Structure 1
Amino acid sequence: MMLMQAQWTEHRTHTRSSTLASSCLNTAYVAACPIAQAGGVVRTAESIELEPTVKIRLFILPALVGLALPFLVHAEARADTVFQADQPGYAFACDGQARSFGRLSGATPGAWITFSSPDVGGLLPGTADWSGGLSMSWQCDPVDAGSTWQVTATTSEGNQVTFSILGVDANAPAQVAAPALDPQPQGDVVFPELLSNAEHPDPVAPPQATPPANLSRFKDLIASCGVRQWMVCYDMGKHYLKATGADYRLNIGDLIWEERPLWASYEYWLRTKVAEAKAEAATVPSDQSKVIPFSSGWQGYDANGLNDWHFALGHFSFNVSGDLWVGPADSSGDRPVQLRYRTTMYDVYDFGGREFGWAKELATAGWAAEYYVWAEGDTITKSATMNDLDPESLGLEW
């Protein structure tokens, strides 16, 4: 890459600028032409020098080895904030020539980008250009046709994207469709959407002048929770009396640990849905990759024991959801898989039609307010192979 640099000389004059500008229309001597004028300053390019700023040395690796050659290119600035490849998979003609095949975007300008692959080594790094992009080149020999390389690009900030390159016969028809190659999902599994008929809190009502008759009774109830060290019941009751309607978040680990039937229910749905996803993954063509989402849907659970969770929640909804990614088969015929899942729950803290239904009048009178209750675990990510993944042996984590 060559960078053109111009040395500028300032001429402080107003009278000759128009003459110089018009005379330049009829001359090829660019160095004598005024380039720009602002505030009475005419800038003239006196000399133009070419100076090399980037030296790229190409190393041709032996046959059966792909070589990534990232290099800088000028491109329009983009507003992308997600580091990504312009395609999840590429088809590349293996004729021994190094050529550009794709482009990364969304990196921080100037970020150092490295490349790694379980299928090949010696991939050269590069630097993101002013737009956060980087063009990539590849080289493979005719004997590499039919090979697939999984490549991961990583920025100096730690952002990653994975894509695949399929080597094809250079003598094949020009229009060779790349296999469907879904990249491995990154980040957290999103909180599942609520059902269209899901329960919602009533709006916060303005407080009436007279306290409701059962206010003292409710205060005594949550005080008894405190005496028994049922601190979730106590704290959620206090939150109800604040009458803000603000959401309340629970620690899902405490809930699962203390409600063992709930633990078993989560584990049942996890194993069932992963088994279904694995069965679907087995139908994906061996040269392709695919992301298979799964979800238990919102299931109901009753905390019936004489404990903190019964008085705090009673009946609530829970869900386990995630996805299973399956990659192209390797030389042994086995396939890499990535499993992600997350445990979630939600409820509405209210008292309609239950054993404590009398407490609803506090919210109706504006001396309390119903609210959402949420809880979610961490996103659990596991890597394995199709042969090693046994859904029935999965133990729930959160």
Structure 2
Amino acid sequence: MSPEPSADVAGLPARAAALALLTAALARRGGIDEGLSHPALKALAPRDRAFARALVMATLRRLGPIDSALQARLAKPPPDRIVQILRLGVAQAFVLKTPVHAAVGTAVDLAAADNGSRPLKGLVNAVLRGLTREPPRLDDPDQLAPPWLYARWRAAFGEAEARAVAGQIADEPATDLSLKDPAEADRLASELEGEVLPGGAVRTARGGDVSTWPGFAEGRWWVQDASAAVPARLLAVQPGETVLDLCAAPGGKTLQFAAAGARVTAVDRSAGRLKRVTENLARTALSAEVVTADATQWTDRRRFDAVLLDAPCSATGTFRRHPDVLWAAKPSDIATLAALQSRLLDAAARRVKPDGRLVYCVCSLESEEGQPQVEAFLARTPEFVLDPIAAGEGGAPDASLTRAGTLAILPHHRTGGTDGFFVARMRRRS
């Protein structure tokens, strides 16, 4: 990755924007995406905007250890604004390596800029100065995830695997690209100083605006995590086959199917998110039918050769690029989402032709959203059978293959990291 913007060129407005973004990111699911359109952030020069975003991501990736260090120096919890300012100050000083005087000074200035927090600017100064004398450890895997989530991972994967998963939280990920023409993988990897991954994705550590990279304007590729590209490959669609992509946005899988020559229908309930699908189809000169509808209520009676359901989920597997999901998620979310996934699976099954294929996937690390979901579906839907996945199929890491023939991709299963995914492939009896 390219170096982060220098803190020396980013003043108080950049820190104020970072404060607004961090507050939004922790307030609700998807908060960081909404926060990126905050007026305070959009008003900044590109370099300052990049610094503000980098500061927030650094804070979120080490939020657990940061909070542990702060709690040891606070007799009682201060107001939320002060907590966020302190978090940003610690991330500046110890993650982005901002000079101490700048990290502390701008944190104090942020506190002084608001009438409610101004009386506590001395506390901000004292806490951050104290930490500079005894620097905290911010890379302990046992603290990088929220305790309730880490306990779930230990129960599901065992202590060693849970630590390996959590150890990925602090790392900034590379960028993975899926190609319109897989034969161009070596050429694109050379242009971007990257590498070709199993399955044909290209991974690059290149930084900056992706729209300026070679091949973007020509529509040769799109950004898609290597794990997210696996489910579509497992359907092995052929030119002319009909494919239904349910819960399709942001559209990477739709593009994969269209590039393979399939006749694709992409359905998603969010018109706003489907706009991105349409834009990427236009940029890549690929075509698909795009439908705004709730998959459980869609009245179209067509059946398809292949159906992919990338179901709404807790998204805990995406923490490498969206670390806010770990802190915005709640235990109750998982049961609610599992119930929705069950309904969506039933709706997806109705769309599959006899002898057709169905792939179910979630970008989640939580067990209720994975294997038990598929087992329950097969038990109540005897016309479907599991179609076991082979080791390495679709470019999946060998370590991700389960005894049942499904995939449980963990973030450390690929060198350099990857998103966590559960994937199962099924077939409707003829």
TM-score by length of 1: 0.19
TM-score by length of 2: 0.18
Larger radius of gyration: 1
* Higher relative strand content: 1
* Higher relative helix content: 2
